[in-house]
Structure 1
Amino acid sequence: MTAALVLALAPMVARADDAVRFSVMSYNVAGLPWPVKTKRGKALERIGDELAKMRAAGTEPDVILIQEGFRKEIGELIDRSGYPYVARGPKKGQRDASLWPKGEKPDYRRVAYRRRGEGLGKWGSSGLWVLSNYPIEDVKSHAYHYCAGLDCLANKGVMLVSLNVPGLPAPVEIANTHLNSKGASRVPRSRNRMAHHLQADELKMFMREDRTPGAPLIVGGDFNVMHAPDRFDYVMADYPFEVVSRWCHALPGACDTQISYDGDAPWLDTQDLIGFLDGARVAVTPVKVEATFDGASEPVLSDHDGYRVTFELRPKG
């Protein structure tokens, strides 16, 4: 099993001498296999090269959360990037028991659209990876029990890593996940929405059972919530966490926000979210939000931009 998601409304804290700046980028690299996507191998290798350029300049993210890292060229991306520590999410063959209590199994038919990929087995892994500048002390993962449509061909799930960050009195936990898509699943909206909700339930149950109590937490990934407030609200319900974009929007001036957006709900303008939760011994505060691989400093190499958040991690007491 592994971890998932937890984001929390953290109090604003002033910059302190003992604070640690810590940046996390979530990036769906569109590393889908042929014939689903073509010409992605070279793009993945170029992403690795661009990350190496950032590293040479001292501007690389401390941690990268990758989604859709299915192709073999993901190994080239990792090697070229230069990140010393790497962890992988659920592999193709990983199967985990249902997290629902006995007698509370959801009323959901697991195979309803066989011609849309359901019931045909897993053709790929979860596509989840974590690259880190800091030692990865522990890795947990969980493959979701429910899915809908073409998403069922991947072993989607969640992974949780524990990092030893110098200057902090406790390890930092980082979760990476990818939830069921909408139209791309090629099944009716009611079907893919229910699968998304069930995966969100698994994410929450996993976090309650497997996360280290009191650990500072950062969660990111492709949540597939763009223009879908019903999905976003379900993910956020009954759990004490907050997403960075909503927190920064509610506190004008608290974050150096370098991403433009329209309307009053920037968290619904994207599939990609990053969230945070204070730890018992470490305060977690977002201080900067920016896009990468968006055609500005780096080329566009995926159908997603990289989404990067810099946090201030400060020991309490």
Structure 2
Amino acid sequence: MGLNNIKFSVGTALLMGAFATQNTLADSYVFITNTTPETVSVQVNHTGTQILQHGNQWAQEATQIAPYETKRVLRMNRYSGLKSGQTYNFDTVVSSGSSQVTFKQSMTGTWYGSTIKHGMQTASTTSPWYTDRNVYRINTVYAGLAAQTAVKAEYTGGYDDFHYTIHQNTVTEPVSNNADEIKVLSYNIYALPMVASKISERLAELPQHLNGYDVILMQEAFSSSRTGMLNQLAQQYPYQTHVPIGSGYNLFDSGVLVLSRYPIVKTAEMIYPDCTGTDCFADKGVIYAEIIKNGKAYHVTSTHTASFDTNEARALRQVQFQQIRQLINQQNIPSFDAVLMGGDFNVNKLLWPQDYQDMLTNLNATAPVSTGYTASTFDPRINKLAGAAGSGGTTVEYLDYVVSSNNHRQPTQSRNDVRILRSAADPLFMTWDLSDHFPVMGHFNYNP
């Protein structure tokens, strides 16, 4: 190729790249996060003193948003074809059943491009127009539950993007005083320093989402921020175990503990003697607690077993389940007492069904039926923290359980209810999730 041809090709490529970049920077996008358990429909209506060309100057990019999913739903060109002094309005209607909210943008053409303002409308309230990048919200009711709509404009280096959410608030679990019913929440809270993001912000927010349970089993409570969180939780859960730690020096302790609404009368623990890979930086283990709820004894364990799916880690997990069983056996628990074992077991029953069966065999336990968000307990498709570097990558996994011992008091009804706990608070806006894992509530009923 001749020198002139090379120069022409390079120049053409640079011009095309610059043109593409200019087009990208000349667009604003609207993103919507659906924090409800139902799929919502999306309809964009465009009005104004002038109408932009559909497909070229604007486009609707989604017609539905699945539960807990974030989608880019609207593209608006902010420069090409806009007339100075003319207005261009976009109303994005999000609906499910009889519930509806509208997310609004209004552009005005200028000699240099456009200005824009944004807002929201619910069944009872229309917001003012906003022109800054603060978080704004409206309290509302959506699908019969307390909810909020919220918006934040985001700086992109070009024209701003807009992030909206229809966000159903966390439903408070009703407190049960029934001695023959117990609600045990297992939660890996992803408080892993040097890896996890926004630890202090998430742990500060967590207590208001953990109301009403009898017992909470925590894992990955490594960060020093746990102290403030546990102090807040002590108002509801005044009985708390220590966090087990190994006899030697390590970067992290076990990160596991038990919190209870009712008295803890006995504890025991085990630091697992073996580890694999980066798990060796923590004193992974299991904590046991005997809890007396209105005269009835419940024996619970919280654990975080070996991570990763190498052959070595998969085999080690099964050994650790046997060690949990040994710890239970050492307590000489009467057969008429209930024994519940929970935690981040790290066995993905979606990928390794035989490992899952081996887990139950080694624990000598029965798993309740799965309810709630049954797709997974770790889902990078909808959880930004799960997809972050240092977490789990792209694999959808079901890892967290509360199971019942076969050798002890048997429940008449039981379920493992996977719950998606999110916050639209300013520090967590666009992060949403409170951990990379979803918590699981083990709900067990027994005959008197």
TM-score with structure 2 length normalisation?
0.49
- Where in structure 2 are the equivalents of 1:2-13 lying within 5 Å? none
**Preserved CA contact (<8 Å) 1:48 1:76:** no
Going from structure 1 to structure 2, the CA distance change for 1:77 and 1:211 (only over 3 Å counts) comes to farther
Distance 1:285 1:276 in 2: 11
Q: 1:211 to 1:150 in 2, by over 3 A?
A: farther
CA drift at 1:310: 1.8
Task: Provide the rounded CA distance (Å) in 2 between the counterparts of 1:279 and 1:172.
Answer: 14
Q: Which amino acid aligns with 1:225?
A: V
Partner amino acid for 2:443?
Answer: T
Letter in 2 for 1:27: Y
| Corresponding letter in the other structure for 1:212 | I
Aligned partner of 1:172 among 298, 323, 327: 298
Q: Which moved more, 1:150-159 or 1:285-294?
A: 285-294
Partner residue in 2 for 1:69: 221
C-alpha deviation, 1:260, in angstroms: 3.2
How far apart, in 1, do the equivalents of 2:259 and 2:424 lie? Answer: 21
Q: In the alignment, what sits opposite 2:183?
A: 23
Instruction: Using the TM superposition, give the Cα deviation of residue 243 of structure 1 relative to its aligned residue in structure 2, in angstroms.
Output: 1.2
Amino acid at match of 2:374: S
Pair 242,288 (structure 1): closer, same or farther in 2 beyond 3 Å = closer
In the alignment, what sits opposite 1:87?
241
Task: Give the 3 Å change call, closer, same or farther, for CA 258–41 of structure 1 in structure 2.
Answer: same
State whether residues 216 and 278 of structure 1, in contact with CA within 8 Å, keep that contact through their aligned partners in structure 2: no
Distance across 1 between alignment mates of 2:197 and 2:415: 34
- Return 5+ residue gaps in structure 1 as ranges: 1-17, 55-59, 96-120, 184-188, 250-256, 263-267
Instruction: Quickly say closer, same or farther: Cα 1:239–1:228, change in 2 above 3 A.
Output: same
Q: Which amino acid in 1 is paired with 2:359?
A: V
Gap change, CA 1:178 and 1:239, over 3 Å in 2: closer
Q: Percent identity?
A: 26
- Kindly provide the amino acid, as one letter, of the partner of residue 182 in structure 1: F
Correspondence for 2:346 among 224, 233, 243: 224
Structure 1 match to 2:390: none
Shift of 1:297: 11
Partner of 2:104 in structure 1?
none
Greater helix share, structure number:
1
Q: Per residue, is there more strand in 1 or in 2? A: 2
- Matched AA of 1:260: T
**Is contact 2:375-2:398 (8 Å) kept?**
no
Match of 2:255 among 127, 133, 143: 127
2:207 partner amino acid: G
Residue 211 of structure 1 deviates from its aligned partner by: 4.7
**1:38 maps to 2:197:** yes
- 1:28 partner SS: strand
Q: Which has the higher contact order (CA 8 A, sep 6+)?
A: 1
Offset of residue 144 of structure 1: 0.4
Match of 2:435 among 296, 302, 310: 302
Question: Which residue pairs with 1:272 in the alignment?
Answer: 400
Matched with 1:157 is 285
Post-superposition CA distance 1:120-165 (Å, at most 9, x none): x521111001111000000100000111010011101111100111
- 291, 304, 308: which one aligns with 2:418: 291
Q: Residue 283 of structure 1: CA displacement? A: 4.2
Equivalent residue for 2:207? 48
CA RMSD of aligned residues (A): 2.8
Counterparts in 2 of 1:150 and 1:135: CA distance versus 1, 3 Å: same
Amino acid at match of 1:222: D
Deviation at 1:300, TM superposition (A): 1.8
Q: Deviations over 1:27-79 (max 9, x none)?
A: 0000101x22232122111112333xx3xxxxx21111000001111111111
* Distance apart, 1:205 and its partner CA: 2.3
Aligned-partner SS, 1:164: strand
Stretch deviating more after TM superposition (174-183 or 284-293)? 284-293
- 2:275 matched to 1:147? yes
Corresponding residue number in structure 1 for 2:322: 201
Q: Structure 1: how far apart are the matches of 2:412 and 2:301?
A: 17
User: 1:240 & 1:190 partners in 2: Cα distance?
Assistant: 22
* Unaligned stretches of 5+ residues in structure 2: 1-177, 377-395, 426-431
Q: What secondary structure, in the 3-state scheme, does the structure 2 residue paired with 1:26 have? A: strand
Deviates more, 1:304-313 or 1:131-140: 304-313
Report the count of equivalent residues: 242
Q: Check conservation: 1:221, 1:274, Cα contact below 8 A.
A: yes
1:181 aligned residue: 307
Q: Distance in 1 between matches of 2:340 and 2:437?
A: 20
- The ranges of structure 1 where at least 4 consecutive aligned residues each deviate by more than 4 angstroms after the TM superposition are 296-299
Code of the aligned partner of 1:200: F
| C-alpha contact (below 8 Å) 2:285/2:305 kept by paired residues | yes
Q: Measure how far apart 1:269 and its partner are.
A: 4.8
User: 1:227-247 deviations in whole A, cap 9, x for unaligned?
Assistant: 223432332225531111xxx
Aligned to 1:137: 265
The answer to whether 1:260 aligns with 2:393 is no
Computing the radius of gyration over CA atoms, which structure comes out larger, 1 or 2?
Answer: 2
Q: Distance in 2 between matches of 1:146 and 1:180?
A: 9
Q: Structure 1 pair 234/297, CA: closer, same or farther in 2 (3 Å)?
A: farther
